[in-house]
Chain A
Amino acid sequence: MFSYYVRLALLSLRKNILLTGLMIAAIGLGIGAAMTTITVNYMMSSDPIPQKSERLFHVQLDNWSPNQPYNEPNEPPDQVTWLDATNLLQEGRAFRQAAMGGTSFVIEPSQAEQKPFIASGRATSADFFPMFDVPFIYGRGWTANDDNSQNLVVVLSKATNDQLFGGENSVGETIVMGGRAFQVVGVIDDWQPRPKFYDVSTGPFNEVEEVFVPWSLKEPLELPLNGNNNCWKPVGEETFSAFLRSECVNSQFWVEFEDPQDADNYLAFLNNYVTEQKKLGRFERPLNNRLMDVMDWMEYREVVAEDAIMMMYMAIMFLVVCLLNTVALLLAKFLGRSGEIALRRAVGASRRDLFLQYTVESAMIGIAGGLLGLVLAWFGLQGIGGLYGDMTEGLNELDLTMVGFAIVLAIVSTILAGLYPTWRACSVAPAGQLKSQ
């Protein structure tokens, strides 16, 4: 029976080929537009580290001016001071913890023909690598001992290793960065969390850094800051050390717990820490420390661009218009066939039969529209990539989930669109329409 409905549907769709085309095009365009924008939003809001995002927490401490909050109404700064990051690292109260901040290096390759170049860098502590499940091709991250001893060690990105060592295992080699020789201890495999959750201060979809060095080197080497720096109070002395010990926020601090429940204890510890610091004349605002897991933090920092959200709403409204269009056309089409329906009813088709027949017809439009929509979404995403350039790299790819979602969205929405027209068609009385027109 089902194949009979399919045949009838095909027949009917072919009979009105232009109209069928119009409905499929409308659904396709609607799905295409919606999928393009939904994909961008989905990619922007995806969980960058799903296996442990619930156990990774970002730390905020409110060291801001007693006269005004960092952000209205009473939000603490997005980053912490170097001093607090270093102190918390020393305390080591969480399962794992990492202090970090952006920096940059001029790298002078040993081969004479290669020119010096600037590499983006990150100063961080040993736990960074196991905490964020950073994959290594060669070697591994440095140890806590390297941190403590301020050893000149470096972890390279794959691209940097390719550039400097032609992709060979470079563990044990040395490279000159900022005029000093660093020993390579590890090379990271391709790794690009999207969003780059551990530091969104300069852009949530920026590239992962090219070199990583121990946090403890920041002060002795006076590593420059590559990122945002916010101060509410003059630094005072004009030295790097004074700058690091100022109330300027420019570092990030992340902790990992074995159990998300441990967050409460850790927050209590943070409050304790701040209360202790108050005795030194710091932290003049009331206690306002925060711990947020990865996804909460991404939402708090609004990593999904407003434009992307607006576009998505527009595209979804566009899809609704396309669906209304389809409802209206299907209604007109089905009602135009009341004669045929009455005849079928008269020869013994039950309402259920007719319902199935017309639902199959709607679903077929949905499938065709969904497929067209996928193709259009692919083009749409390419178009977005072209329009936005690097900004959307990695955000404009259709994954399997989205493909499935698109097809289901198309079929479900078309069947829904066909529901009312189908119901109207099925309620045609068997006799009524046979006589005259």
Chain B
Amino acid sequence: MSELGPIFRALLRNKVGAFLLALQIALTMTIMVNAIHMIENRSSMMARPSGLDEANQFYLSSNGYAENFNERAVVEEDLRNIRALPGIVDVTQINAIPLSGGGWSMGLQTETGEDKPSVGVAVYFVDDHGIDAFGVNLIAGENFSPTEITYRQRNEQGWPQNIIVTEAMAKELFPDLTPAQVIGKTTYIGGDEPMTITGVIDQLQAPWVGWSGVERVMLVPQRTEFRSSRYFIRTEPGQRDRMMKEVEEMLVAEDRGRLIRNVRTMEETRDDSYRSYSALQTILWIIVIILTIITALGIVGMVTFSVNRRRKQIGTRRALGASRFDIMKHFMLENFLVTSVGLLLGVGSSIALNIWLVDAFSLPRIGWYYIPVAMVILWLVGQAAVFGPARKASQISPALATRTA
């Protein structure tokens, strides 16, 4: 290590080249840290559980078009028929699909009055089979009873008495209460219409994956008569694909003046909703990897040049008693120094870029450990890159020293 002094002083005499390399390494680190941070950020968003039994669920939409379409009769018969199929765990009619991107939201508040703060919440109209079809767990209170399920008309404004909410929603409304304590509490919808929380489920995601309140959901015990609705179906493990076909065939078989469309699995829906996330991740990975390779190759090129230019100097050092290992060490140390300067710059610029990203794109801050990890990686990359040319340098004959040219 004591050789650092002269190497450093020599580098200072070759400022521009060394500085360019350092700058390149600084930028590489900046991009690496922030890109991997973005990748991680998206990963953690994608990893949030939806609360559903996604592998065994699918849904379809049913749109009535015929003048004589009797929605109530059709839906009730459909649900009965589907439920009767072996391989089906449960089914519910629903207005919107979790993670799908389209749905309803309302505001709930704990005090009446239009000027009081309200908490946004996703609304799922389901019947007493909703909890089973979702595969979510009731952690307090009770499920809806079959008798309290009512039918909701297209322009209906009122709301039923009871609702079930997710734990996250309960916490948002009543931060100090446990789920059990929330049971029986009244909340107000549309400013002043009271509703009672009769159940709390552990977890269920809203239709909008990019929404900050994605965990806030309420279940409303109603079936809809909007002429267009969806059935959300849960099957026995491994039966999903078979049941999708069977259910669709069964529903299409009878002409009841409605269209069956959009038969899709939850897994497809998840993939679609997070497609832009995973696409961004892939792109950023490609950028980081190619960038690292370019930087490594750049170091190889620079050191090769430097070795070629200094052949005679290397020969002289060898003549003066440097072993092959000494020569290798020289180049490795030189690279270590340049890389270190670059990485020190990189720490600053990584943090600066992150601050900007936090500001402009409301990304979270980077974890402190990104910095040392990136530094170690780039040190290793630098040393690996310099190894080849340094080895070549160490093969230079000491006899070169006596050559005049």
Contacts and interface: CB of A to CB of B under 8 A. Distances in A.
Q: Do A and B touch directly, given a CB cutoff of 8 Å in the complex? A: yes
B48 interface: no
B63 A179 contact: no
Interface in B298-324: 298, 300-302, 304-306, 308-309, 312
Contacts of B306: 332
A359 to B, nearest CB: 18
Contacts of A115: 259
Interface stretch (A77-85, A234-242, A261-269, A365-373): A234-242
Given A238-B153, A307-B280, A325-B298, A318 B291 contact: yes
B67 A179 contact: yes
B283 interface: yes
A321 B21 CA distance: 10
B302 A329 contact: yes
B287 A329 contact: no
A316 B280 CA distance: 16
Interface in A270-325: 305-307, 309-311, 314-315, 317-318, 320-322, 324-325
Given A324-B27, A437-B312, A333 B65 contact: no
A306 B210 CA distance: 12
B65 A26 contact: no
A178 B295 contact: no
Interface in A102-134: 106, 108, 115-118
Interface stretch (A148-156, A386-394, A403-411): A386-394
Contact of B275 (A234, A329, A391): A391
B301 A19 contact: yes
B305 A332 contact: yes
A181 interface: no
Contacts of B11: none
Contact of A389 (B21, B261, B275): B275
Contacts of B34: 314
A388 B276 CA distance: 6
A387 B282 contact: yes
Contact of B28 (A19, A321, A391): A321
B284 interface: yes
A327 interface: yes
A22 B298 contact: yes
A266 B278 CA distance: 46
B294 A331 contact: no
Interface string B145-185: 00000000111111000000000000000000000000000
A286 to B, nearest CB: 17
B298 A329 contact: yes
B16 A331 contact: yes
Nearest to A242: B155
Nearest to B14: A335
B94 interface: no
B301 A332 contact: yes
Contact of B279 (A26, A309, A388): A388
A352 interface: no
A307 to B, nearest CB: 5
Interface size class of B (residues with CB under 8 A): 35 or more
B357 A310 contact: yes
B66 A325 contact: no
Give the dominant DSSP class at B's interface: helix
Interface in A20-68: 22, 25-26, 29-30, 33, 65, 67
Contacts of A237: 157
Contacts of B190: 234
Contacts of B193: 234
A311 B20 CA distance: 24
Contacts of A116: 65, 259
B361 interface: yes
Given A67-B115, A387-B282, A108 B298 contact: no
Nearest to A229: B104
A384 B157 contact: no
A116 B255 CA distance: 11
Contacts of B87: none
A243 interface: yes
A420 interface: yes
Interface in A379-437: 383-384, 387-389, 391, 420, 424, 436-437
Interface residues of A, number: 61
A106 B63 contact: yes
B275 A336 contact: no
B31 A318 contact: yes
B225 to A, nearest CB: 13
A336 B24 contact: no
Most buried by A among B156, B279, B295: B279
Contacts of A67: 114-115
B155 A243 contact: yes
Interface string B1-35: 00000000000000011001101100110110011
Interface string A68-99: 00000000000000000000000000000000
Contacts of B35: 314
Contact of B114 (A65, A318, A389, A424): A65
B51 interface: no
B155 A239 contact: yes
Given A307-B280, A329-B302, A236 B157 contact: yes
B297 interface: yes
Contacts of A322: 294
A117 B259 contact: yes
Contacts of B352: none
A433 to B, nearest CB: 12
B141 interface: no
A420 B65 contact: no
Contacts of A30: 294
Contacts of B297: 22, 25-26
Contacts of A317: 27, 30-31
Given A240-B155, A321-B294, A387-B283, A178 B361 contact: no
Interface in A337-366: none
A208 interface: no
B67 A328 contact: no
B213 interface: no
Given A233-B114, A324-B27, A336-B309, A22 B301 contact: yes
Given A65-B114, A108-B65, A235-B157, A328 B283 contact: no
Nearest to B262: A118
Nearest to B284: A314
Interface in B110-139: 114-115
Nearest to B31: A317
Contacts of A236: 157
Given A321-B295, A333-B305, A238 B156 contact: yes
Contacts of B17: 328, 331-332, 335
22 contacts: A25-B297, A26-B297, A116-B65, A234-B190, A234-B193, A310-B280, A314-B35, A317-B27, A317-B30, A317-B31, A321-B28, A324-B20, A324-B23, A324-B24, A328-B302, A329-B302, A331-B16, A333-B305, A384-B279, A387-B278, A389-B272, A420-B16
Interface of B: 16-17, 20-21, 23-24, 27-28, 30-31, 34-35, 38, 63, 65-67, 114-115, 153-158, 190-191, 193, 227-228, 259, 261, 272, 275-276, 278-280, 282-284, 287, 290-291, 294-295, 297-298, 300-302, 304-306, 308-309, 312, 357, 361, 404-405
- The 6 tightest CB contacts between A and B, nearest first, are A106-B65, A332-B305, A387-B279, A325-B298, A328-B20, A67-B115
